[in-house]
Amino acid sequence: MTFMADSARPSYTDSRMNFTHVVPSAALLLSGFLAALPACSSDSSSPPPNDGGGVVTCQNDPRVMAYQPNLTLESGSKSFKATLVSADPAPPVVSSGNTWMLKLVDGSGAPITGADIEVVPYMPDHGHNPPTKVLIAKKDNGTYELSKINFFMPGVWWVTINVTLSGAADSVRFAFCLPG
């Protein structure tokens, strides 16, 4: 992100020089510009910011978790727990075909069956989601199969699970490093 901001700064400076009295608008334009940057394309002229020489190593990043079967997280408001029962492949890899089995239980440990959940992969260092949606299949006993999870590039990935229970939204966030 720092690299992106630095590389984009000349545009900001140019805008400010030409439109000194509309700096806030220029800043807004810059935000949009950054969001639209193809920073994660395979175009060799714009490598990812953390791509130091072609190999991404984020295994020791303090933000990421070590994958293990049955990795369990408690939601922010403690209304549910999410267990990543298994990942295929395990650990997750750079691929459009990751499949996760997820189990949800409520605060009393009872399975959350048939809930409408939202699964959002995101790369915090690049500011983007994958280009495709995760497929969600409700299984028995509070289990959900998440397929076609599209980790399309190496780096730190967050996967946020949003669950709405009795009208209240709550979430957990898995975080993994996918080396490449």
Binding site for Cu ion (CB under 5 A): 40, 123, 126, 153
| Smaller CB separation from Cu ion, 37 or 101 | 37
Closest distance of CB 3 from Cu ion, Å: 13
- Shortest reach from residue 109's CB to Cu ion, in Å: 37
Cβ distance to Cu ion smaller for residue 111 or 124: 124
Shortest Cβ contact with Cu ion: which residue?
126
Give me the least distance between CB of 40 and Cu ion, in Å please: 4
Query: How far is residue 159's CA from residue 161's CA, in Å, rounded to a whole number?
Result: 7
- β-pair partners for 174: 159
CA distance 172 to 147: 18
Of 67 and 122, CB closest to Cu ion: 122
Q: How far is the CB of 161 from Cu ion (least distance, A)?
A: 20
For Cu ion, the closer of residues 119 and 123 by Cβ is 123
Rounded (10°) angle between helices 2-18 and 23-36: 140
Cβ burial of 140 (10 Å; 0-12, 13-18, 19+) is exposed
Minimal distance, residue 71 CB to Cu ion, in Å: 23
Nearer CB in complex with Cu ion: 59/77: 59
